[in-house]
Amino acid sequence: MKKHHDKVLVIVLKPGQKVIVKCEKHKKHRA
């Protein structure tokens, strides 16, 4: 979970990518 947080932090720097990661994380959780 720590590694996942690191990736989210890097995306937070980019607003455009932040949404993409949020969508992907939700899909992974549902799978």
pLDDT in tens, the chain (31 residues): 566 556 666 656 666 666 666 666 666 656 5
- The alpha carbon of residue 21 and the mean position of all alpha carbons in its chain are separated, in whole angstroms, by 3
* Confidence at residue 31, expressed as pLDDT on a 0 to 100 scale: 53
For position 2, what pLDDT does the model report?
Answer: 62
* Rounded Cα distance, 16 and 31, in Å: 24
Q: Alpha helices of the chain — where are they, by DSSP H?
A: 2-12, 15-30
pLDDT in the model for residue 14: 62
In a 10 Å sphere around its CB, with 0-12 CB exposed, 13-18 middle and 19+ buried, how is residue 6 labelled? Answer: exposed
pTM: 0.20
